[in-house]
Amino acid sequence: MRKKRTDEAPVLPEAGDVLPVVEMRTRYSSNHPWIFRRMVGGPYDELDPGTLVDVVERDGRFVGRGFYNPHSEIAVRLLTLSKDAYPDRRFFLGAVTRAVKLRHDVLQLPKVTDAYRLVHSEGDGLSGLVADKYGPCIVLELFSAGMHRHLDWLKQAFTENFPGSEIIVRSDHRTEKLEGLKMDGPPPATRELTITEHNLKIHVDLRRGHKTGYFLDQRDNRRRVAELSGGQEVFDGFCYTGGFGLSAALGGAKSVEAVDLDEKAIDVANKNRALNGIGEQLKFVHANVFDYLRDQRQGGKKYDRIVLDPAKLALSRLEIPRAMSAYADMNRLGMQCIKPGGVLVSCSCTGLVSEEDLLTALRAASIEANVEMQIVAIHGAPGDHPWSVRVPEGRYLKAVYSRIMPLR
């Protein structure tokens, strides 16, 4: 690699440059793009966070090329396993263009929405990057120092695919702490806008909203809930800015009660209700979902349809037992508040909780609630959130649809 300049801008590699070499302590056999700190030698403290490196085994066998970060538990994020592929400017342009073609040519998402995921990290071969399109804006969420280091190339790639778009850069404080540097971008020119999803209109805050601004991964499930809601009494737990509740109301629900503890989210949800011309059959409530359902159970209130879609409940493996308990508790309450034959939609976006784990929690909930849980479907994120078979963590979203019946 060429000698590093003394100013702040990093010297980025070009095809043919010799990259620094990182040697592994153990044999690489999984083809997973994450190589953890304990698996590599070093430390290679002379390398800046996000430096592109060649990874080799102890015998010199080539493993792949990717970003190295001496501060992160994920020491290397591999971008390619091929010696013939070189992560230069054209590499990133090609990866982004292929990702866009999936959304446009294969999934044809612009026909149904102007808001969708453009790059889904490892699912699109760009570990550490999420990119979402919101109308004229593209929000880049960075999870690795490597993506931050190569941000100019990424911006050029998205600009070439979407000329004239505003590009907004986000990262969260936890990621910045793990990666060891500040990665958030300057305040965006466009802070708020309205997106369309099928026949639904949603107000989105691109700076303060969860994830990149909205939960795009539930698009298909919102559509399914709308189809199940005609003439029904619906409860939407952890409603955030109202996606499921609004969808149910537009699907012809008799009534919808949507509850969230985030008061600001409830304010936005009421704006969305007015934006979609929905009347008093939809009510947004600022409350704790667990307490609210306990009160409803005590009062004998029953619903035809219940959706429970909490935020991520575990950020580390140490938090999994608490998350499992919470999933069991909320779904038990849901089962106790649903009419015989009603449909419960139980969601989890916690990647550390597998589908099997979620089903275990639901099984425990059904035993405590003394009901029969008849599972009719299990869905996940839509096609703009692809996952690689090498990275099962990418299949993070689970939505279990079940009919709840009295025990026979």
**Count: domains in the chain:** 3
Task: Among 134, 158, 192, give the residue marking a domain's end.
Answer: 192
Task: Among 192, 207, 224, give the residue marking a domain's end.
Answer: 192
pLDDT given for residue 50 in this prediction: 92
Question: Does residue 310 share a domain with residue 264?
Answer: yes
Question: Does residue 93 share a domain with residue 75?
Answer: no
Which pair of structure tokens corresponds to residue 92?
Answer: 């990133």
Question: Does residue 261 share a domain with residue 292?
Answer: yes
Question: Does residue 106 share a domain with residue 61?
Answer: no
Residue 256 to residue 260: CA distance in whole angstroms = 13
- The answer to the question of residue 250 being in a domain is yes
Is the pLDDT at 210 greater than 80, yes or no? no
Pairing of strands 129-134, 115-120: antiparallel
- pLDDT band per the 50, 70, 90 thresholds, residue 8: low
Closest by CA position to 380, among listed 196, 214, 219, 209: 219
- The answer to the question of residue 327 being in a domain is yes
Query: Where would I find the beta strands (DSSP E) of 239-357?
Result: 255-260, 282-286, 303-308, 338-348
Residue 333 to residue 316: CA distance in whole angstroms = 26
Residue 272: which CATH number?
3.40.50.150
pLDDT given for residue 408 in this prediction: 81
Question: Does residue 148 share a domain with residue 75?
Answer: no
| Contacts for 380 with CB less than 8 Å, ≥ 6 apart | 395, 397, 398, 399
Is the pLDDT higher at 187 or at 98?
98
Residue 150 to residue 148: CA distance in whole angstroms = 5
Question: Does residue 269 share a domain with residue 175?
Answer: no
- pLDDT band per the 50, 70, 90 thresholds, residue 173: confident
- The answer to the question of residue 134 being in a domain is yes
Q: Domain range spanning residue 64? A: 21-80
Residue 120 to residue 126: CA distance in whole angstroms = 8
Question: Does residue 228 share a domain with residue 275?
Answer: yes
Question: Does residue 342 share a domain with residue 376?
Answer: yes
Question: Does residue 94 share a domain with residue 66?
Answer: no
Report CA Rg, the chain.
23
Which pair of structure tokens corresponds to residue 234?
Answer: 């619906």
For residue range 115-141, list pLDDT tens digits in order.
999 999 999 999 999 999 999 999 999
- The answer to the question of residue 358 being in a domain is yes
- Angle between the N-to-C axes of helices 151-161 and 89-101, in degrees from 0 to 180, rounded to the nearest 10: 40
Residue 66: which CATH number?
2.30.130.10
Question: Does residue 384 share a domain with residue 321?
Answer: yes
Is the pLDDT at 190 greater than 80, yes or no? no
% of the chain with per-residue pLDDT over 70: 98
Residue 187: which CATH number?
3.30.750.80
For residue range 261-300, list pLDDT tens digits in order.
999 999 999 999 999 999 999 999 999 999 999 999 999 9
Which pair of structure tokens corresponds to residue 137?
Answer: 């804006």
Which helix (H) or strand (E) covers residue 133, if one does? strand 129-134
Q: Which residue has the tokens 């149910």?
A: 248
Residue 54 to residue 58: CA distance in whole angstroms = 13
Question: Does residue 379 share a domain with residue 233?
Answer: yes
Tell me 81's DSSP state. S
Q: How far is CA 307 from CA 145, 184, 207, 272, 383, in A?
A: 37, 33, 27, 19, 22
For residue range 221-232, list pLDDT tens digits in order.
999 999 999 999
Question: Does residue 306 share a domain with residue 226?
Answer: yes
- Asked whether 5 and 11 are in contact (CB, 8 A), the reply is yes
Residue 381 to residue 219: CA distance in whole angstroms = 8
For residue range 93-114, list pLDDT tens digits in order.
999 999 999 999 999 999 999 9
pLDDT given for residue 14 in this prediction: 74
